[in-house]
Structure 1
Amino acid sequence: MDALFRDYSEDLRRYAYRRLRDREAAADLTQEAFLRYVASRQHERSDARASQFFLWRIAGNLIVDLVRRERRQGRTLPLEHAAMLADAAPLADRSLIARQDFAALKTALDGLPRKTRAALLLNRVEGLTHAEIATRLSISPSMVSKHIMKALRVCLLSLESSDA
């Protein structure tokens, strides 16, 4: 674990600093990422490359959480910070994780019953209301809600299982 910290802590801190533009927050975030990594016990069964990817994913999630928390507390981000968070060229680990998440979601969506999948996609992709979806699928609005909740639950479980 000590070697992992020595190998990646500086790179992880720089990564966090590029996103947050705050040295103190980047240092805190780096420590928090390592603490969460150790707490996950992932290091007991991973090789160095997998550990690096997992650490970067933890850090990315912590950055998003921090930005959301600051937004909720009424702090706004300068425009240049928002541009940094929406990186035009994601790092290789983010691309790999995104592809894995996409594959897991696609498999989950493909396994859903037709109306459940349709209700979710009509709502989340096309932006239709529950009433509009109910009319299209010839079901009640409350049934639309149930279909959407079921689909979201299945998608969430598929993402959680792809992380393991």
Structure 2
Amino acid sequence: MPDDLDALFRLHHRELRQFAYRDLRCSDGAGDVVQDTFLRYATVLNRPDAPGLIANPRAFLWRIATNILRDHRARLRRRGFHARIEDCAETQADPRPGADQHIEARQRLARLRMALAELPPDCRTALLLSRLDGRGHHEIARCLGISVSMVSKHIMRALRHCLRRLAAA
């Protein structure tokens, strides 16, 4: 008997899953429907009057799956629609930053500008070309007329300086 059930599963699980997915639009839910379908089928096979009871196993599986989906829809109607919190979060909370966040961001920006102004010109230029313009170390070295190694040192010095200034505030 398990061999017959295994063979039926291999033959029909994909089409039953697609059928359930079209109804539910949920891959996990469709898999659950298929599992429940074969579980109910196996329960019927274990009944004493099972031999000869199922003339067309495929049609019987489809009938079970259809009934499971019908029961699922009826349960949803009785319970009503329950939205997931993730789906509602955008409509309930304003995702834009608040006034306090704007003020804090402006203060951080002002501190960063001051920290950048304190840097030597080559150091500041190397950092800005790297971080804002997205240029590579070789290109920055050509622009400033310095070695690639010196570009790395300038950028690291600028980053350390800016981090210290921002952390101190």
Which bin holds the TM-score, normalised by the shorter protein?
Answer: 0.3 to 0.5
TM-score of the aligned structures, taking structure 2 as reference length: 0.44
TM-score of the aligned structures, taking structure 1 as reference length: 0.45
**Structure of greater Rg:** 2
